[in-house]
């Protein structure tokens, strides 16, 4: 019997993390169009890696999304990870309301406005829900208002992969949106009406998107919850919202019919995979070892209190705490950055399993931290870009669980 495929469009695809996770969860997901473009790069290493795994196709597009967004075919599910930027808006004469920065979000909005897929899954850094520092929550509230105006409900959750058993303490916000014409929207809307803000904390709230795949403790933080409205009754348009929004948002929340309910949830943690478990058991190339003096590394990883001068002449101290050096093998990795393997504070340094000497993580170990197959990025790109792409990637098993949950409700 032929399967009824769920047609997926993958934006800002990188090396294919969303696609890998969805296809691991089920063969019912079919990626019909994907876009990856690294601005300012002559060689598109991430896109080349994507094509090496998924094949050459006219629907694998290596161009600026601004130039190709109108050629995207109709689809059921839109997915993608995109940068956290400034989403403030301004009035621009005859053009109406327009984003000043954060242009990638406005391209996503244009795609949604054209196709209105039933479901959307987006991933971003967790600071999105607190940005900007001067007006916390505004940027995410603008996104929520855009989605509400197009007829979507939204659930979001900040997920630390290590708290749910994976090998990296990588915190990302996952945003799931659903059309108000879907049965799922109707169920959520009914639950919100019945439970109000308690919906965020209730263990009995089994219909929520994240509750069954990323369970939480039944605890309420009375100081970290909010209920607000972002619709036209509260803010006439995006300009008013951009100028006046002041309600804090937290690591979990729901937006239905313009009402936003948010709260700080506590995950039900399970034992994570550790650095020791993902570390090579066999010998690794000599180039990964720290040879010579360790003073530079000890300084970078150590506590500091450095006198500095502000632009206005005012003195202050730059301070940062000490870090474990080398990294604790019996804990999951810290969040991996695009600068992994360079000589800086954030780079992991571990004890080698064979020699006991200190070394960097290998590209394969970095792939394991994100749940990719060994040598996924070994497709001809320079080694520094293998680290770069993993620093940009998402944790594949998180997407796999999201895919399984989507199948239950789509």
CB within 8 A of 339, min separation 6: which ones?
346, 347, 387, 391
Q: Which region holds residue 3: left if phi is over 0, alpha if psi is between -120 and 50, else beta?
A: beta
Gap between the Cα atoms of 210 and 187, Å rounded: 14
Residues in the chain: 410
Annotation marks residue 84 as catalytic: yes
Angle among Cα 89, 94, 99 to the nearest 5 degrees reads 15
49, 58, 84, 324: which is the annotated catalytic residue? 84
Q: Cβ of 91: how many Cβ atoms within 10 Å?
A: 12
Cα-to-chain-centroid distance, residue 88: 20
DSSP class of 191: H
Can you point out the beta strands (E) in 151-246? 152-160, 171-179, 225-229
- Residue 99 near residue 91 (C-beta atoms within 8 A): no
* Separation CA 119–CA 96 (nearest Å): 28
Reading the block at residue 315, the tokens are 């003195």
> Of the candidates 89, 86, 63, which has an alpha carbon nearest to the alpha carbon of residue 11?
63
- The single residue listed with the structure tokens 């520094």 is 384
Minimal CA–CA distance to 22: which of 409, 401, 300? 401
Phi, psi of 367 (to 5 degrees): -60, -40
The answer to whether 62 and 44 are in contact (CB under 8 A) is: yes
- Tell me which residue of 29, 37, 23, 25 sits closest to 8, measured CA to CA: 29
CA distance 175 to 82: 12
Cα distances (angstroms) measured from residue 404 to each of 80, 116, 178, 209, 397: 17, 22, 16, 11, 11
CB atoms within 10 A of CB 4: 6
Indicate the burial class of 324 (C-beta count within 10 angstroms; 0-12, 13-18, 19 or more).
Answer: exposed
Query: Which residues are catalytically annotated?
Result: 84
């Amino acid at each position: 019997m032929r399967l009824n495929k769920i047609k997926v469009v993958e934006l800002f695809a990188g090396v294919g993390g969303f696609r890998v996770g969805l296809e691991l969860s089920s063969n019912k997901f079919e990626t019909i169009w994907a876009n990856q473009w690294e601005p300012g790069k002559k060689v598109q290493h991430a896109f080349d890696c994507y094509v090496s795994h998924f094949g050459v196709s006219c629907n694998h597009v290596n161009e600026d999304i601004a130039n190709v967004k109108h050629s995207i075919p109709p689809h059921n599910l839109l997915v993608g990870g995109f940068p956290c930027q400034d989403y403030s808006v301004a009035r621009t004469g005859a053009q109406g309301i327009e984003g000043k920065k954060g242009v990638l979000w406005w391209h996503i909005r244009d795609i949604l406005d054209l196709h209105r897929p039933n479901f959307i899954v987006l991933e971003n850094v967790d600071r999105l829900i607190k940005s900007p520092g001067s007006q916390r929550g505004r940027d995410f509230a603008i996104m929520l208002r855009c989605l509400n105006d197009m007829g979507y409900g939204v659930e979001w959750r900040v997920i630390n992969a290590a708290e749910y058993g994976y090998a990296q303490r990588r915190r990302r916000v996952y945003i799931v949106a659903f059309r108000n014409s879907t049965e799922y929207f109707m169920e959520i809307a009914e639950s919100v009406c019945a439970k109000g803000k308690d919906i965020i904390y209730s263990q009995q709230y089994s219909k929520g998107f994240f509750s069954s795949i990323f369970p939480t403790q039944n605890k309420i933080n009375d100081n970290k919850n909010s209920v607000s409205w972002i619709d036209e009754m509260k803010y006439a348009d995006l300009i008013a919202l951009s100028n006046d929004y002041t309600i804090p948002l937290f690591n979990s929340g729901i937006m239905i019919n313009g009402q936003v309910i948010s709260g700080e949830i506590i995950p039900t943690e399970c034992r994570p995979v550790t650095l020791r478990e993902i570390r090579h058991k066999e010998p690794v190339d000599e180039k990964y070892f720290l040879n010579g003096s360790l003073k530079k590394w000890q300084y970078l990883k150590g506590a500091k209190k450095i006198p500095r001068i502000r632009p206005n002449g005012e003195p202050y101290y730059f301070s940062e705490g000490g870090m474990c050096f080398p990294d604790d093998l019996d804990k999951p990795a810290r969040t991996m950055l695009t600068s992994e393997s360079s000589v800086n504070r954030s780079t992991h340094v571990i004890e080698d399993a064979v020699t006991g000497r200190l070394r960097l993580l290998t590209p394969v170990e970095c792939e394991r931290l994100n749940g990719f197959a060994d040598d996924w990025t070994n497709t001809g790109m320079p080694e520094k870009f293998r680290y770069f792409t993993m620093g940009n990637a998402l944790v594949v098993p998180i997407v796999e669980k999201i895919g399984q949950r989507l199948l239950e409700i789509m």
